[in-house]
């Protein structure tokens, strides 16, 4: 079966849009989530936000490969606490092929989200999962990782973005 959703790459406008809250936990939501996993695995990503599949809804899928963080779905995720302890680490994004830049993020966060059945959860996380969720929640707010790159790296980055847009 062909996927009716496609990976959205910079400068696609949907990447700059604020995604809408999910209100209906129905089969349609499950299908969108499945389509997002399919895209994420096709491009070997570890996380994908709705906008990146052209779905302007607050859906995030994550798969870090490790047992406990395999095939995870976060609907309407919200960061309710972000640790003051921050660190810089290199990030990439499927919507920005071949661009990798260091980004400052909180080392640990607490999030609130809803699962596919409509049940609410709170979860504390750190490490790669915390970084990934901060990156994906940014996407849902129309913010992309290159927006968070330090001033010093912005000039070099501009050239790479220009090449990507052409």
Q: Which residues bind Ni ion (CB under 5 A)?
A: 93
Is 130 strand, coil or helix?
helix
- For Ni ion, the closer of residues 113 and 145 by Cβ is 145
Closest residue to Ni ion, judged by C-beta, is: 93
C-alpha 73/C-alpha 3 separation (Å) is 19
Residue 121 Cβ, how far from Ni ion at the closest point, in Å? 22
Residue 81 Cβ, how far from Ni ion at the closest point, in Å? 22
- For Ni ion, the closer of residues 46 and 114 by Cβ is 46
Residue 72, C-beta contacts closer than 8 angstroms, at least 6 positions apart: 61, 62, 63
Residue of 57, 91, 101, 136 marked active site: 136
Catalytic residue list contains 136: yes
Residue 135 Cβ, how far from Ni ion at the closest point, in Å? 5
Tell me, letter by letter, the H, E, C secondary structure of 69-110: HCCEEEEEEEEEEECCCEEEEEECCCCCCCCCEEEEEECEEE
Active site residues: 136
């Amino acid at each position: 079966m062909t996927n009716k959703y496609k990976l959205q790459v910079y400068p696609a406008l949907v990447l700059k849009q604020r995604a809408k809250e999910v209100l209906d936990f129905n089969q349609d939501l499950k299908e969108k989530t499945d389509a997002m996993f399919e895209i994420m695995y096709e491009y070997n990503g570890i996380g994908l936000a709705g906008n990146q599949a052209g779905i302007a809804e607050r859906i995030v899928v994550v798969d870090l490969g490790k047992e406990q963080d395999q095939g995870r779905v976060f609907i309407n995720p919200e960061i309710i606490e972000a640790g003051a302890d921050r660190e810089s680490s290199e990030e990439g994004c499927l919507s920005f092929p071949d661009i990798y830049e260091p980004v400052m993020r909180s080392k640990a966060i607490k999030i609130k989200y809803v699962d596919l059945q409509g049940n609410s959860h709170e979860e504390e996380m750190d490490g790669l999962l915390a970084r990934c969720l901060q990156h994906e929640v940014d996407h849902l707010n129309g913010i992309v990782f290159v927006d968070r790159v330090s001033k010093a790296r912005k000039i070099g980055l501009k050239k790479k973005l220009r090449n990507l847009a052409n």
